Amino acid sequence: MHRRPALFLDRDGVINIEKNYLYKQEDFEFIDGIFELGDYFQKEGYTIVIVTNQSGICRGYYSEEEFKKLTRWMEAEFAKRGIKIAKTYHCPHHPDFTGSCSCRKPEAGMFLQAQKDFSLDLPKSVMVGDKPSDIEAAKRAGVEECYLYDGKEVASLKDIIKLHKERK
């Protein structure tokens, strides 16, 4: 069976501008370059997967259904541009409220579930996150190519395309 690599994307701070406990469509602002990034990796044969911690659910700031509604809208915005998001995985937990879990980054649970669901080649996959915990989770799952999009290591999402091409 042929395994495909994935482009793993964190949501808040990578796909959209970080806003605390974002769950409303009208507050969602896409980050410049996210659609170009998705398009590039999709054309390269990558499965696109979103992995996002969403502790606002267990904190009671928004419901699972409100999160899913925003996710459907966000995925549709990608689809309008010809980009297929295979799945958005989320962790609704937080250790202070629900105890520990295997899905909250920096744990690798969401990556490993995606690997099972889509038969992914994790070592050949790519992770783009804006926090060290995103990168740590990806590395724990065996993802070798990781980019910390924090304005320092990687200044723009378009830079990731250039850096990826240099690694090939």
Domains of the chain: 6-167 (3.40.50.1000)
Instruction: Tell me if residue 32 is catalytic.
Output: no
Cα 109 to chain centroid distance, Å, stands at 13
Residue 38 has pLDDT above 80, yes or no: yes
Q: Which of 108, 112, 113 is nearest to 129 (CA)?
A: 108
Residue 1 has pLDDT above 80, yes or no: no
User: Which of the two residues, 105 and 21, has the higher pLDDT score?
Assistant: 105
Residue 34 has pLDDT above 80, yes or no: yes
Question: For 102-137, what is each residue's pLDDT tens digit?
Answer: 999 999 999 999 999 999 999 999 999 999 999 999
The whole-number average pLDDT for the span 52-58 is 93
Question: For 127-165, what is each residue's pLDDT tens digit?
Answer: 999 999 999 999 999 999 999 998 887 889 999 999 999
- Position 39 scores a pLDDT of 98
The mean pLDDT value of the chain amounts to 94
Q: Which of 160, 150, 151 is nearest to 8 (CA)?
A: 160
Task: Spot the catalytic one: 12, 27, 121, 130.
Answer: 12
Q: Classify the phi-psi angles of 30: left when phi > 0, otherwise alpha if psi is within -120 to 50, otherwise beta.
A: beta
The whole-number average pLDDT for the span 28-41 is 97
User: Which of the two residues, 31 and 20, has the higher pLDDT score?
Assistant: 31
β-strand partners of 16: 12, 30
- Position 95 scores a pLDDT of 79
- Position 154 scores a pLDDT of 86
The whole-number average pLDDT for the span 37-50 is 98
Instruction: Tell me if residue 10 is catalytic.
Output: yes
β-strand partners of 88: 50
